[in-house]
Every structure is written in C-alpha cells, then in structure tokens.
Chain A
Amino acid sequence: MAATHQFSESNLVGEVVQDGITNLNLGSIDDHELNTTTYPITRGNASFEKYIRAKFSSTFTEISNMKFWRSDVLGYKTGETLKAAANVTFATPSDTANADSNIPLTSGTSLAIQSAAGTTTITAPGYTKYIRLQLQTTVGTPSGAMFQKTLCFQYDEI
C-alpha cells in the first residue's frame, strides 16, 4: 500500500485548511484555487501569500528526502518573481511584498521540507511544515497572463 500525497492550502486568519487542492493560482485574494481573471494582481504589487503543505495519508512505512522547487523552464515576465520560504509557521496571508528568496529552479537547489514536527521523515499520516509562496511584480511587469508555473514536491517512500 502506497502513501497518498495531496497539496493542502490554508487561508484567512483562522487558518482554514483545504486539502486536495488542484492548483496554486496566485492573485489578489486570500483564497485557494482562485480565479485569476476575477482576482488579477495589479502590476507593481504582490499577490496574497499562499501557505501550502503536503499531506500524506493511507499506509506507508516512511517518507523522507522531501523537496520542493519550480520545475518548468518558462522563466518570468519582466519584473516578476516567485518567492518561496520553507518550514515556516502559518500567519494570516498578506499581500505586502515579503523578503523571501526566489523559488529554486532545479532539484539540486530545492527547498528541503520538514515534517510538521520538524523532522526530516514522516512515519505516520500527517502534514509537512508550511511552504510560503508569493508572486511579486514591478510597475514594468506587462499586463496579461503570467507563464504557467509547475511546482514540484518530490519525496522518497519506503
């Protein structure tokens, strides 16, 4: 029996958890799976932060070597950057630009993700620590859709 992996997002001041999300769309509202046409980002501003986790369920022996990075090669629009921070504590998502680092673009430089308990392995169903994402722009960012980004969570399972 293999582990079941899901992406999970938490929103709002109450840390409302939504498991099994199908996208990580970024926009001008603190919500999961948002509509990017309804909630675009005014250039020069930042998106609302996203607090996401991996959730493991079903039967498995051990999850380890958890990594997270952006795995596509489409690059950025002018003045646009995707920021990411690993193993953070949840806070009410903000649309004020934060000081996080650019998300890694290769497996070799990926973020090392910990279990909710702060360890490098997971041996029972549960979550990882939070990953924080935010899209930041400048006034020079062209209007229109950004390049679709593919975000990869990789792990070893025993």
Chain B
Amino acid sequence: MAKRKEKNENSYHFLSTTSDNYNQVQGWPEWKQSIVISSTTASTGRFIETKSNQKSEK
C-alpha cells in the first residue's frame, strides 16, 4: 500500500521566519567604535585682604 504524501505546514512557516530574521540583520546599524577621552587643565588663584590703618591726629 502506497503512503500518501502530506504537505508539511511547519516547514513552510520555519522558512518564512528565517527569511524575516535575515532581513532584520541586514537592517542593523553599522558598528562604530568610540573611545572616551578626558582632557584636564588646572586652575589656580590667590586671595588677598585689603587692610587700612588709619590714625587720627588730635
């Protein structure tokens, strides 16, 4: 007795899903490598107190 061939629905869906994933991979942005750079500078200053010394003559 000959076996009857049946359509395999699961295989069909599997191929479709694979195709969708492939398109998503193609749409990913290009990888860019960035580096973090810190540049510093120094700041100084000096404070003074202004004093006055007054004498009154009598």
Q: Give A contacts to B, CB under 8 Å.
A: 5, 7, 21-27, 36-37, 40-43, 47, 54, 61-62, 64-65, 71, 77, 80, 82, 133, 135, 137, 141-146, 148-158
Contact = CB atoms under 8 A, between A and B. Distances in A.
B17 interface: no
Contact of A71 (B40, B47, B48): B40
A150 B46 contact: no
Contacts of A82: 43
B46 A151 contact: no
**Which 8 A-B pairs have CB atoms at the shortest separation, nearest pair first?**
A24-B43, A40-B46, A26-B45, A40-B48, A149-B43, A36-B46, A154-B38, A143-B49
Contacts of A47: 45
Contacts of B25: none
B50 interface: yes
Interface residues of B, number: 19
B33 interface: yes
Interface of B: 32-50
A77 B48 CA distance: 13
A149 B35 contact: no
A23 B47 contact: no
Nearest to A80: B47
A8 to B, nearest CB: 11
9 contacts: A42-B47, A137-B47, A144-B46, A144-B47, A145-B46, A148-B42, A151-B42, A153-B38, A155-B36
A83 to B, nearest CB: 12
B41 A41 contact: no
Nearest to B51: A143
